[in-house]
Amino acid sequence: MDKEVKDMEVFENLQFEGEIFFKLQEAEREAQLTGQRYSSQDVLQAMKITILKANIPHSLDS
C-alpha cells in the first residue's frame, strides 16, 4: 500500500475517533443538564421510526 494512502487512512481514523470522543463529551454534558434518560430500546425504536419515515434502506427489521 502506498505510504500516502496509508497516511490518509490513519488521518481519517484519527479524525473519526476525535468526532466520536467529541460527541461523547457533548452527550455527557447534556446528561448533566437533565434527568431524562433513554433505554437502548427507546433509542432503537426512535431510530427505526426515523429510518422508516425517511425511506432509508436498512436492516433493522429484527
Residue 42 pLDDT = 95
pLDDT of residue 44: 94
Rounded distance, CA 19 to CA 1, Å?
Answer: 26
pLDDT at 29: 92
Please list the rounded mean pLDDT of every run of 10 residues in the chain (62 residues).
Answer: 83 93 93 90 93 77 54
Residue 62: what pLDDT? 52
Distance between CA atoms of residues 56 and 48, nearest Å: 10
